Amino acid sequence: MPVQCSLKTIFFRVDASVSIGTGHLSRCKNLARFLKSRGCRILFLCRDHSDSLHQSLLDSDFEYLTLPRRSSGLLSETDSSYLGWLGCSEEQDANDCWELIKTRSTLVPDFIVVDHYAISSIWERRISSYWSSAKLLAIDDLANRYHCVDFLIDSGRLGSSGDSGYQDLLDKHVVTLFGPFFSLLTSDYLELRQGSSTRHRLGRILVFFGGVDSSNVTLVALQALLESNLQGINVDVVLGNSAPHLNQVKAFVSQIAGWKLHIGMPSLAPLVNEADLALGAGGVHSWERACLGLPAITTPVADNQLDLLAGLSTCGAITTITQSKSSDLLTSFCEQLETLQGAHSQLSDMSEAAFILLDGYGVNRVAALMLGIIQPVFLRPACDRDLGLYFWWCNDPTVRQSSLQVSSITLEEHKEWFMGSLRSSLALLRLLVDSDGLPLGQIRFVRTENDLNRVVVSFSIDRLFRGQGLASKLLNLGLSDLARTWRDVAEVKAYVKCGNEPSARVFLSTGFQEQASPKLGLRYFLKPLRS
């Protein structure tokens, strides 16, 4: 499945403007930055609109070409279909991409990444006819149109791999990358995550409703903070250079001690990490907050954020306000702030719920799928922050089918098992990671107090990286680690559900011998570690 990187060329088709916002381009830049670090050549293709922002956002970082303006201005949305975001038909846009590349460059893409609400299978089929050897990857979060691609990312689908939202919108061969573990964040979120703490009290608040915030929700949130009369609270406010209400917000913030306006920040990670609560919207920033365990009071600034914020609210990571009138929104912000001001337990519960949603390796996962994992691989011990990752893995449909308990595991069940195993002297939990730290799979050894010389082993590989020989590497590395850690272990036992031939082959290839099984429906394998 993965392609080994040998200076791959990757095109990104994405737009940014005051009308469209900057979120699409931001997440594409995050992926592009990582791909560039692995030796890929990156080229952005962006349409010229009357309010375009891509020039200022890309100029110093990436090579880009600007597609010609095809209308007098950005067309208005029709029936919430976003068709006007191109300013022309999909066929015309694909043709413009081809003509622009053909006249200015001899580049042939290995991958084409498209992140655009106005682009569907119509554009994708046309672009594939121009560059037939290129693989297509779409980034979407609407599930409202057909896609003709090889890979599709929708990090907002909290149902993960079992999600059926695209069931009739994709061909069967499409590799789907659903859920927050595929969120495309900058590397500084990953770097800060291990040291980020659960929030317990309000001391610092981050206000960010997108780089543009054309509806000026920022000002409403700031008014609510002022009216709530929170004592000893510092406030960080973030807007982009092109935000239409920037001067109004700047004047408001400048009057209050302890409040600071940040304009055009390359990354919000330091502010997210320092904050105890955020006032914000949906989109990519939802995953930035969650990665660092930041609770939030949110309100949607676009219709496509409604389902995402509702899902995050159900998970307990945020509270959501759906009022549209500024006066109602102001009142609701004040009420929520008053509730959280003294509710330390609620704040910490929200923070822990956020931490579980993702691990910050989304960019690495997508890049590994496109270019291959970074060798060599090794083991590391599991830790508290891996709770959500193990939960995601254990509810993978293939893992459940291979287990005795085929039904999904609840978070409560999983948390009790995981934290108990992590603290137990009778269990070893290890993760297989590549040289960049990307988790690829897990192995665990368990023994009982009345039989310390024998352990039971089980393992799983992330579905994206199966079939690459990683299971044998994981098992061999795990056995070596086991022998070093528990020197008194004499035998390792393994139980494999009947019909799970891949796992059985892995055990046999690493020196296990199959024995008569004492358990119905399971095959039994045994390996002596010492005579």
For residue 77, what pLDDT is reported? 40
For residue 203, what pLDDT is reported? 93
Cis peptide before 528 (omega within 30 of 0): no
For residue 350, what pLDDT is reported? 97
For residue 162, what pLDDT is reported? 52
Question: Smallest Cα–Cα separation from 369: which of 152, 132, 163?
Answer: 152
Establish whether domains 9-178 and 373-528 are of one fold: no
Give the DSSP H/E element, type plus range, for residue 497.
strand 491-497
DSSP string computed for 258-301: TEEEEES-S--HHHHHH-SEEEE-STHHHHHHHHTT--EEE--S
By three-state DSSP, how is residue 415 classified?
Answer: helix
User: pLDDT tens digits, residue range 43-60?
Assistant: 999 999 988 889 888 878
For residue 137, what pLDDT is reported? 98
The list of the chain residues with pLDDT below 70 reads 1-6, 72-81, 159-164, 404, 531
Domain ranges of the chain: 9-178, 192-356, 373-528
For the chain, give percent helix, strand, coil, nearest 5: 40, 20, 40
The CATH classification of domain 373-528, taken from the options 3.40.50.300, 3.40.630.30, 3.30.70.120, 3.30.70.270: 3.40.630.30
- 10 Å CB burial of residue 506 (0-12, 13-18, 19+) is buried
- Contact in structure between 102 and 127 (CB atoms under 8 Å): no
What are the CA-CA distances from residue 358 to residues 188, 376, 385 (Å)? 15, 24, 9
User: pLDDT tens digits, residue range 152-190?
Assistant: 999 988 865 456 689 899 999 999 999 999 999 999 999
Structure tokens at 11: 């095109």
* CATH 3.40.50.720 describes domain 9-178: no
- Amino acid in position 168: D
d(CA 462, CA 442): 8
* CATH 3.40.50.2000 describes domain 192-356: yes
d(CA 176, CA 174): 6
For residue 408, what pLDDT is reported? 82
Angle between helices 284-291 and 306-315 (to 10 degrees): 20
Q: What residues are paired with 42 via a beta bridge? A: 10
- Amino acid in position 43: L
Question: Smallest Cα–Cα separation from 44: which of 86, 13, 89?
Answer: 13
CA 151 to chain centre: 15
- Contact in structure between 475 and 484 (CB atoms under 8 Å): no
